[in-house]
Every structure is written in C-alpha cells, then in structure tokens.
Amino acid sequence: MDGYTILAGFLIFFLLFIYLTWFGFSVKVENEKEEQNSEIKINPYDNLPLSRRLIDKKNSKLGIFDLGNHILIIGVILLVVFVSLNVD
C-alpha cells in the first residue's frame, strides 16, 4: 500500500462519516419538527439580564464574589498570558 491508497481510504472514510453524520442530524431535525407543536417555547434564561447570564444564571441568590467557572478560567488564562508576556 502506498501513500495514495491510504489517503484515498482516509478521504472515503471521512466523506462517508460526514454523510452519515449529516443524514443522522437531518433525521433528528425532522423528528423534532414533527414532535413540536406550533407553539413557541421561550427559554426562561433568555430573559435574564447580561450580568446574571455571565455570572450564574441558575443561582437565584447572587453575591459579589459569585462567579461562574468560565469567568474564572478566562481569568487564569489571561493571568498566564500576562505573566508569560512580562517574563524577562
């Protein structure tokens, strides 16, 4: 087997995978369309102000130091970038 045979096999497998994934997703979307009635459901978390969405949308008692994990992770990444840029 040369490199072109391996590449062709990989491309055929990749295209088959993409097609099957697309087909499965389209079947799922069609099933969801059939299950849904004509009424539109609004997610209650969409009506929250921006500050509540950024901090913790599920916690009804928010304090000053209540931050979501994603904000803490972003802070740590920014700290690492800041330290790495200021290293001599």
Please report the pLDDT score of residue 60 as a whole number: 65
Q: Which pLDDT tens digit goes with each residue over 60-83?
A: 666 655 666 667 788 888 888 888
Cβ atoms of residues 45 and 57 within 8 Å: yes
Euclidean distance between CA atoms 63 and 61, whole angstroms:
7
Please report the pLDDT score of residue 51 as a whole number: 66
Nearest to 67 by CA among 47, 80, 75: 75
Cβ atoms of residues 56 and 66 within 8 Å: yes
Euclidean distance between CA atoms 22 and 25, whole angstroms:
5
